[in-house]
Structure 1
Amino acid sequence: MQYALLIYNQVGDTDTLTPGELEELSREYWALRDDPAVTGGAGLQTPETATTVRLRDGHPLVTDGPFADTKEYFAGFYLAEADDLDAAAEIAARIPALRLGGVVEIRPLLPGD
């Protein structure tokens, strides 16, 4: 079964890290892609780079900024192939965001056509 491992970071979670620590953190994220169970994924730019589209009176309204201002933000995801939720959780537990106060949400993908 395929699972999305949705990574939510805390705002400012890396502000106090040194350049060396940031580099090591990046290496850890890339190393997860070496796991054969991880079939894809991507990091996202920070929320202030977002553009939001809403429908108002039947017309799209495009605004700068994220959907909501929160303490946590959607920072990226991995796609993983796992036999069950426990196996997906083992992969999720290795995501560095957890050590920095972040959260990983595990969601099964809908079956494809």
Structure 2
Amino acid sequence: MTRYLLSIYQPDGPRPSDERLAEINRDLEALNVELRAVGSWVFDGGLHAASTATVLRPGAGASEVMITDGPFVDSKEHLGGIKIIDAPDLDAALGWAAKLTRAVGLPVEVRPFQG
């Protein structure tokens, strides 16, 4: 099995309605039940808004670190949540990502972990 990161990207803007969030949460829980049943679920979690991010960058000196508020990049979409899964191959990971995309109605990036 290979471990994959499924990254969910969400647009900036207002939160979905409570009704829509309830739908999304129901669909995500159903997906998690399915992933757990086949032993593929590892970890998942949603993130607060990109405006809550803090970025650390190397400074001029070897031990210097600069800290700034806000997301790493200025974009209309930001990382909104992640799911880490085990899958036998990329095709299987893409299948899970397709289910995740349908559940949340947002783009999902799939990347394998090294090693």
TM-score band w.r.t. shorter chain: 0.7 to 0.9
Deviation at 1:31, TM superposition (A): 2.7
* Richer in helix (by share): 2
Fraction of identical pairs, as percent: 36
Q: CA RMSD in A?
A: 1.6
Match of 1:63 in 2: 68
**Aligned residues between the structures:** 106
Cα deviation code 1:32-90 (max 9, x no counterpart): 22222222111111100000111221211111111111011011111111111111111
Match of 1:74 in 2: 79
Question: Bigger shift: 22-31 or 58-67?
Answer: 22-31
Q: TM-score, normalised on structure 1? A: 0.83
Alpha-carbon distance in structure 1 between the residues aligned to 2:8 and 2:17: 22
Q: TM-score, normalised on structure 2? A: 0.81
Deviation at 1:109, TM superposition (A): 1.1
1:74-93 aligned at under 5 Å gives the runs: 74-93=79-98
- For 2:48, what is the secondary structure of its paired residue? coil
- For 1:7, what is the secondary structure of its paired residue? strand
Are 2:6 and 1:5 equivalent residues in the alignment? yes
The 1:108/1:9 distance shift into structure 2, 3 A limit, reads same
Residues 33 and 40 of structure 1 are in contact (CA less than 8 Å); yes or no, is this contact kept in structure 2? no
Alpha-carbon distance in structure 2 between the residues aligned to 1:83 and 1:25: 27
1:14-25 aligned at under 5 Å gives the runs: 15=15, 17-25=16-24
- Extract unaligned runs of 5+ from structure 1: none
- Extract unaligned runs of 5+ from structure 2: none
